[in-house]
């Protein structure tokens, strides 16, 4: 089952609708993309999917496929469904940090310990905000347990106790959640507010996305959230992923992994970046800030977790000109930027064409198939652009 909402948007959504042709997309390539997604669902690769495609401040396509939940409580995916964003959440949190930095609350060159003095424990005193957000901080394997998700005093203690694994700045190695839990603590230190409230007040509410993009999902919205799945151990079929379907995970707003949103909300967020920090007449940040944040801060250094250069910015990463890059597609412009969610999704923007795209599914599929399908999906969109 699939539902299409390609010719209209809900009342008040910041991107007005337009048809594919008027925005310069080859309809045939988009049809191939939709057929690919339908084939994936028929093959049992994932229960459901949602995509959104935008250009020059307008929404060209918004479409849902398959099931948001399976089993006795099965329900179809639709335009109101909220998808677990996994590490796409890192970009939402980064945008909040951009806003706070532009307001002068901190500098990316600051040390975390300048604002959270106890973070200096375990030889972490010289780690900068820039090193942390660009995956160079030196504690990629540190863990925040469930006991600290809702207790932010405990969260601060756990983050400050993180052990250092290697010298900050000496390596690039993806920090799955540890860096962004640290950045959540930083947000609370410089604002005196719960980081989830800060993200809402600085990003989602000003952009008109408050019902479509969450870092910290209110219990009243849990009925809209997808159930995440994982492959069965034998690779034949899938099962619900209990930990990521639990209420405490959804509420936690883990700032690097537990955001929820619609594909069109993510496409709109990237449109804001492509339009110099402004969306539907609301300016969030300046063009100069964006030039600083969305640039390659790690060069062609290999991300040791990814096994390839990732060209890290302060939130998104960039395509660059290396042979391979995760998620953005082989055919992408070198200036294209975006981020993914583990085994499930990718969202990106292309400054050369003004196109943003979001692709989100609800099964956490491992590599090599995951990366292969992301490249295929992204390339179908890139080759649709004229």
pLDDT digits (tens, 9 = 90+) for 31-70: 999 999 999 999 999 999 999 999 999 999 999 999 999 9
Angle at which helix 27-42 crosses helix 369-382, to 10 degrees, equals: 160
pLDDT for residue 128 is more than 90: yes
Contact between residue 96 and residue 199 where contact means Cβ atoms under 8 Å apart:
yes
pLDDT digits (tens, 9 = 90+) for 224-260: 999 999 999 988 899 999 999 999 999 999 999 999 9
pLDDT digits (tens, 9 = 90+) for 73-125: 999 999 999 999 999 999 999 999 999 999 999 999 999 999 999 999 999 99
Structural domains in the chain plus CATH codes: 2-93+197-382 (3.40.710.10)
For 183, what's the count of Cα atoms within 13 Å in the CB-facing half-sphere? 38
Q: Residue 11's pLDDT band (boundaries 50, 70, 90)? A: low
> Tell me, what's the pLDDT at 267?
98
The 3-state secondary structure of the chain reads: CEEECCCCCCCCCCCCECCCHHHCECHHHHHHHHHHHHHHHHCCCCCEEEEEEEECCEEEEEEEEEEEECHHHCEECCCCCEEEEECCHHHHHHHHHHHHHHCCCCCCCCEHHHHCHHHHHHHCCCCEHHHHHCCCCCCCCCCCCHHHCCCHHHHHHHHHCCCCCCCCCCCECCCCCHHHHHHHHHHHHHHCCCHHHHHHHHHHCCCCCCCCEEECCCHHHHHHECCCEEECCCCCCEEECHHHHCHHHHHHCCCCCEEEECHHHHHHHHHHHHCCCEECCEECCCHHHHHHHCCCCCCCCEECCCCEECCECCCCEECCCCCCCCCCCCCCCCCCEEEEECCCEEEEEECCCCEEEEEEECECCCCCHHHHHHHHHHHHHHCCEC
Could you give the CA distance from residue 76 to residue 68 in angstroms, rounded to a whole number? Answer: 5
Nearest in space to 332 (alpha carbons), one of 359, 309, 350 = 350
pLDDT digits (tens, 9 = 90+) for 286-305: 999 999 999 999 999 999 99
> Whole-prediction pTM value?
0.96
Could you give the CA distance from residue 322 to residue 246 in angstroms, rounded to a whole number? Answer: 39
pLDDT for residue 6 is more than 50: no
**What's the average model confidence in pLDDT over 374-386?**
97
């Amino acid at each position: 089952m699939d539902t299409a909402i390609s010719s209209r948007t809900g009342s008040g959504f910041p991107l007005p609708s337009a048809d594919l042709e008027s925005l310069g997309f080859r309809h045939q390539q988009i049809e191939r993309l939709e057929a690919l997604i339908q084939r994936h669902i028929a093959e049992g690769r994932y229960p459901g999917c949602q995509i959104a495609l935008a250009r020059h401040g307008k929404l060209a396509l918004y479409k849902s496929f398959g099931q948001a939940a399976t089993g006795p409580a099965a329900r179809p995916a639709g335009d109101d469904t909220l998808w677990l964003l996994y590490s796409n959440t890192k970009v939402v949190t980064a945008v909040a940090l951009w806003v706070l930095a532009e307001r002068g609350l901190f500098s990316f060159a600051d040390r975390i310990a300048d604002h959270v003095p106890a973070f200096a424990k375990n030889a972490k005193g010289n780690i900068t905000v820039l090193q942390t957000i660009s995956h160079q901080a030196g504690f990629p394997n540190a863990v925040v347990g469930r006991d600290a998700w809702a207790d932010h005093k405990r969260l601060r203690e756990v983050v400050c106790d993180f052990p250092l694994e290697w010298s900050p700045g000496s390596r690039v190695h993806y920090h799955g959640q540890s860096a962004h839990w640290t950045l959540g603590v930083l947000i609370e230190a410089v604002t005196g507010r719960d980081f989830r409230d800060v993200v809402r007040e600085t990003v989602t509410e000003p952009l008109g996305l408050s019902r479509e993009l969450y870092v910290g999902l209110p219990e009243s919205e849990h009925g809209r959230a997808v159930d995440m799945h994982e492959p069965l151990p034998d690779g034949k079929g899938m099962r619900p992923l209990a930990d990521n379907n639990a209420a405490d995970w959804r509420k936690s707003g883990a700032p690097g992994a537990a955001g929820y949103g619609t594909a069109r909300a993510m496409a709109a967020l990237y449109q804001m970046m492509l339009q110099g920090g402004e969306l539907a007449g609301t300016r969030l940040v300046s063009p100069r800030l964006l030039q600083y944040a969305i640039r390659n801060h790690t060069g062609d250094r290999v991300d040791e977790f990814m096994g390839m250069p990732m060209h890290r910015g302060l939130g998104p990463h960039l395509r660059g000109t290396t042979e391979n890059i995760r998620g953005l597609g082989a055919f992408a412009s070198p200036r294209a930027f975006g981020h993914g969610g583990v085994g499930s999704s990718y969202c990106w923007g292309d400054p050369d064409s003004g196109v943003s795209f979001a692709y989100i599914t609800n099964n956490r599929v491992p590599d090599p198939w995951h990366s292969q399908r992301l490249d295929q999906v992204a390339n179908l969109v890139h080759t649709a652009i004229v």
